[in-house]
Structure 1
Amino acid sequence: MAKKEKSEYIIQAVSHALDLLEQFHDEVDELGVTELSKRLKLHKNNVFRLLATLESRNYIEQNRVTENYRLGLKTLELGQTFIKQMGLLRQSRPVLETLVKECNETTYVAILKEFHIVYLDVVETDLTVRVVPRVGARLPAYCTAAGKVQIAYMTDEELENYLPTKEMKRYTPKTVIDREELKKHLKVIADQGYAIDDEEMDVGVKCVGAPIRDYTRRIIGAVSISGPSMRFTDERLEKELIPLVIRSGEEISHKLGYHK
């Protein structure tokens, strides 16, 4: 019954576009409009419109010599993103579980998506007072530990293009919304190798994060520890939580092929 109900929401044009992309598999690397029309049982005009749409978004490209079509770079990017995310989740989960056992606070793995971070995985503490899990949530990068520790390593030019052109939103009295002040703060983060969210996103919540790198040395995510500010004292951060999160970031990075 559930499947039948969901089928009512299917958009036919999108379904046809996906059917078209799925024709390129195994040893089939190029196909023409006529062949695609036969395979999809669609009129050539419809196939051409689908191809034009997909080509405009780089999911399909045309071989100018043969005039046939093949998969575009965007499909490769999506595939690589999936592989990286699955690899990141698989390698980070045991580290998160160990980290929670050591500090008994909620731990996360997050990636950067445009101007936000997205939490991919979480392991919760068993303490009664804790931060609500945010798997799948999108939060601003400039006021979260997992976000700041990723954008901190951008070049000045990359950062200038990355930061929102409009005024950044202030979530708490501690949110840094001045661009120049934020840039100075990010340079400190890059030098020290970790970031702290000192109630910048939520009042009463603190977080500490460290970067995760892959075999290319590129930062692909962050690991973080989050909890009530009453438990995240300066002394505990310095002596326990910061060393733990840095070590965990390095451990996940090592699993992904990164070597200093």
Structure 2
Amino acid sequence: MAKKDKSEYIIQAVSHALDLLEQFHGDVDELGVTELSKRLKLHKNNVFRLLATLESRGYIEQNKATENYRLGLKSLELGQTFIKQMGLLRQAKPILDRLVGECNETSYVAIFKEGHIVYLDVVETDLTVRVVSRVGSRLPAHCTAAGKVHLANLSDEELEATLPRGELKAFTSSTFTDRAKLKQELKKVADQGYAIDDEELDPGVRCVAAPIRDYTRRIVGAVSISGPSMRFSDERIEKELIPLVLQAGEDLSTRLGFHK
């Protein structure tokens, strides 16, 4: 017995319901029955029945003031489930592998939590001289490239609430301890879209990082490349590592649903 093509099993009503949901995209937040009927090329009665079914399950809701329809909370929950299942770590691994393949330097993915940076995953270089893996460690945000990426996108009020009170702790002679100078540095980071840790946490270690954004445009993490300063010359950082980390951040953001 010949195996049927999957297209032969398509249920037309389900297909129409999905077509209806897909009309709510971009700047389109509400649509009426008449407009949906035109777009779907379906009779108004059929459109109304589809809407009633989707509304009963929470995927569509009606704005009582305009009588138009919009996506319901169930649609949001479904999208969030997808994002969670396709999570940051799962999406980051192949990109970290690619980064290390391109520059042969240790690469991390990190998140911002309670004023600190936490490294979630790492792919290490195979070179003998390398940075020590800090996966799972909580590091201060003001002296790490990944941390500065996050701090640069906070409002002044959020920044003041996030930074520790008093003078910022110095870890090396290059650490930003003056709040005014740190704010100048963060403005630069926000303008250029990436951050550099120039031996600010560990002597002899430099790092470059770029933000990771999700479908809400919110920064949910950072991707970074770290290594000994003897291999991280200004020229190499500028010409090779910054373009690589920016591309990695952009690719990972795209995987999480971010669109420019």
Q: TM-score higher than 0.5 here?
A: yes
Partner of 2:164: 164
Instruction: Name the aligned partner's letter for residue 129 of structure 2.
Output: V
1:160 positional shift? 1.6
Larger radius of gyration: 2
C-alpha RMSD of matched pairs (Å):
1.5
> In the alignment, does 2:239 pair up with 1:249?
no
> In the alignment, does 2:227 pair up with 1:227?
yes
Partner of 2:103: 103
Instruction: Name the aligned partner's letter for residue 253 of structure 2.
Output: S
1:155 positional shift? 1.1
The separation in 1 between residues aligned to 2:228 and 2:201, in whole angstroms, is 12
Structure 1 length normalisation: TM-score? 0.67
Partner of 1:115: 115
Instruction: Name the aligned partner's letter for residue 98 of structure 1.
Output: R
Q: Helix, strand or coil for the counterpart of 2:176?
A: coil
1:84 positional shift? 4.6
Instruction: Name the aligned partner's letter for residue 227 of structure 2.
Output: G
Partner of 1:132: 132
The separation in 1 between residues aligned to 2:85 and 2:193, in whole angstroms, is 22
Unaligned residue ranges in structure 1 (runs of 5+): 1-79
The separation in 2 between residues aligned to 1:84 and 1:183, in whole angstroms, is 33
Instruction: Name the aligned partner's letter for residue 252 of structure 1.
Output: L
Instruction: Name the aligned partner's letter for residue 237 of structure 1.
Output: I
Equivalent positions of 1:59-78 (< 5 A) are: none
1:79-112 residue CA offsets vs partner (Å, 9 max, x unmatched): x89x759700000100000000000000000000
Partner of 1:180: 180
1:63-88 residue CA offsets vs partner (Å, 9 max, x unmatched): xxxxxxxxxxxxxxxxx89x759700
> In the alignment, does 2:201 pair up with 1:201?
yes
1:158 positional shift? 1.2
1:150 positional shift? 1.0
Aligned residue pairs, count: 180
1:85/1:240 CA distance change after superposition, 3 Å: farther
Q: Helix, strand or coil for the counterpart of 1:184?
A: helix
The separation in 1 between residues aligned to 2:84 and 2:136, in whole angstroms, is 17
Runs of 4+ off more than 2 Å: 83-86
Unaligned residue ranges in structure 2 (runs of 5+): 1-79
Partner of 2:239: 239
Structure 2 length normalisation: TM-score? 0.67
The separation in 1 between residues aligned to 2:244 and 2:195, in whole angstroms, is 13
